Structure 1
């Protein structure tokens, strides 16, 4: 039977019927943020019939507690997803939800909104059935299944590069580079979901900073010339910190690399790494049930334009970025590594002086030196106000 005859006998359902059939809660917004349609799943999610929802403003039905985030999500003309956000739902009070908005193609002003309960979505790294019997967890399984074909693609690209010339060779190199980029992204995702942290031990902070600077310079190669020089303002009297040398290097490479990018093209650009002793700062680590003092501070400062104000409050969350080509995982990984060391990271902007500061606060190694210890990774081990 010809395809056109088959289509005549079994015509494709229209878009409205498909929306009504979706198990996800979907709302269609007309220009002006007015609800034009709500599928049955949305009626159930909101506890309101479509008849009562039609014509209402979306913000009257689902109001996010964070007004700045609500403005970004509801008024942006680009697809936006926000997860685990607190909201006030009409007739239900406070509720933690996931919300995604998508403009309707070729229909200016029209928007589709998808809603879900955060509790129904397993967070990255959540245990899967069989975790206790030695089998791999979800993220590890996914990484394994993706990395195997990636290795094959990269190998095929390298073999092909030997047989082609000119612009074709450049394309094979592009394939290999993109495979490497995807593999790096998977590694970052695995690190974010990993439950066991690296061992902590006394570390020489200044040696760690210089090692990160050296690695960053080596990675830049010939491009290093003309880059902003990293200035050091070290307190030589500081004692060793308690942390993971490998983790600290990763943290500092990320922060210094971001500072380099931020100062690119800035006249009289500067990057300063400063270390000092600060008294009185404490952190409550709930998994140990005791306060941990964080008297050692590392400050990475640059005089670039700073983080986009619209994302400053969420820069340590996964997939939040102001970079056009960024994935938004770098600072999320930095925060996790700091938490694994019972440390803390904060960010602030000095608008008057034109400086952006990232501050690392670390525990001091005890004079007795209890040796290497391994602690359980605790992404939520800090109290609400600590990062």
Structure 2
């Protein structure tokens, strides 16, 4: 169970849940009305400074926090409340023994979103039901939009399920998947979400055969990459995102079950924005690394995890001469019936 504190604009504790009482060894009555930094001590000045910005989101893993004479290692998130400027929700949990070991580091850090799963699923169900009711009253020409609402709610619900088990469960099953259908569906979702003014260009090789992938996971990967690319170039002149597919040879993944897996299908998402901050380019796929002021730094980490689950590879490249940023995915072919594994 995660400890939760509600902080007002002056960083005074206004509410505390039972887990916070247990972790901090204080009752809610004693916590409420106290300034946060009088309750806990932080050795990291960067975190203390970040807490001073009431609009900043914060995620820290393995931070040392002092409570009285006791020091503990905790994972912390701080999220502003959009409906109450200056107010924030702080969640933290004590790091368990071995949780920060090298093995399974990515899986451990990606389990954090699972705490939101229950709270996300309830409103999703309401949205889906409302979409179905609205669809009955719409003209025939507008019903595809309502259908998209229901389809996207279902996809998000499945994504939430996956995020709950990212750290320990098996990957989604893969099957022969039409790559271009998945890309076009992802592009339609991005367009429906708004952010006009950015040109989205398809440059497909129509001869490509099916890939071996999870359709839902592949769409989520593409939605994340196209959305990031659109956001990255949105403020520039003639902003443009190109999604390109092609066949390449010679690329293989790591050995699996004693054999190498060929990855001849390439998908590239390119944008003409300014590119990722140079200091972050070697870390873009790491959890909680982000250059977005409102980002949590989980998008690309999730993308890498989903691509790896499909035995694929993903990489990032900046072409300064051309002024382009490329994210390239390489995927395996679906085996033809009768072809040996």
User: Aligned ranges for residues 355-366 of structure 1 at < 5 Å?
Assistant: 355-366=324-335
TM-aligned CA distance change 1:352 to 1:204, over 3 Å: same
Q: What are the ranges of 5 or more consecutive residues in structure 1 without an aligned counterpart? A: 1-17, 30-72, 85-96, 101-115, 127-137, 159-179, 374-387
**1:230 matched to which residue of 2?**
200
Deviation of 1:191 (Å): 5.4
Checking the alignment, whether the CA contact within 8 Å between 2:114 and 2:163 is kept in structure 1 is no
Deviation of 1:189 (Å): 4.0
Checking the alignment, whether the CA contact within 8 Å between 1:191 and 1:333 is kept in structure 2 is no
**1:119 matched to which residue of 2?**
98
**1:270 matched to which residue of 2?**
240
SS in 1 for 2:281: helix
Checking the alignment, whether the CA contact within 8 Å between 1:233 and 1:272 is kept in structure 2 is yes
**1:108 matched to which residue of 2?**
none
SS in 1 for 2:236: coil
**2:337 matched to which residue of 1?**
368
CA deviation digits over 1:208-236, x for unaligned, max 9?
A: 1111111222232xx54xx2121122112
**Matches of 1:140 and 1:213 in 2, distance apart?**
25
CA deviation digits over 1:293-331, x for unaligned, max 9?
A: 111100000000111122222211221111000111111
**Matches of 2:191 and 2:277 in 1, distance apart?**
27
TM-aligned CA distance change 1:367 to 1:189, over 3 Å: closer
TM-aligned CA distance change 1:295 to 1:332, over 3 Å: same
**Matches of 2:192 and 2:263 in 1, distance apart?**
32
**2:269 matched to which residue of 1?**
300
TM-aligned CA distance change 1:139 to 1:311, over 3 Å: closer
Alignment match of 1:347 (pick from 279, 292, 316): 316
**Matches of 2:247 and 2:241 in 1, distance apart?**
20
Deviation of 1:205 (Å): 1.3
Q: What are the ranges of 5 or more consecutive residues in structure 2 without an aligned counterpart? A: 1-38, 52-57, 63-72, 77-94, 131-152
SS in 1 for 2:224: helix
Deviation of 1:337 (Å): 0.9
**2:231 matched to which residue of 1?**
261
CA deviation digits over 1:319-371, x for unaligned, max 9?
A: 11110001111111111110111001100111121100000000011222679
Deviation of 1:77 (Å): 5.7
CA deviation digits over 1:44-102, x for unaligned, max 9?
A: xxxxxxxxxxxxxxxxxxxxxxxxxxxxx89x964787758xxxxxxxxxxxx9999xx
**2:79 matched to which residue of 1?**
none
TM-aligned CA distance change 1:99 to 1:212, over 3 Å: closer
SS in 1 for 2:303: helix
SS in 2 for 1:237: coil
TM-aligned CA distance change 1:369 to 1:219, over 3 Å: farther
How many positions carry a matched residue from both structures? 247
**1:190 matched to which residue of 2?**
164
User: Aligned ranges for residues 1-387 of structure 1 at < 5 Å?
Assistant: 78=50, 119-121=98-100, 142-143=115-116, 146=119, 189-190=163-164, 192-193=166-167, 195-220=169-194, 224=196, 227-286=197-256, 288-368=257-337
Deviation of 1:118 (Å): 8.0
CA deviation digits over 1:12-45, x for unaligned, max 9?
A: xxxxxx99xx9xxx8688xxxxxxxxxxxxxxxx
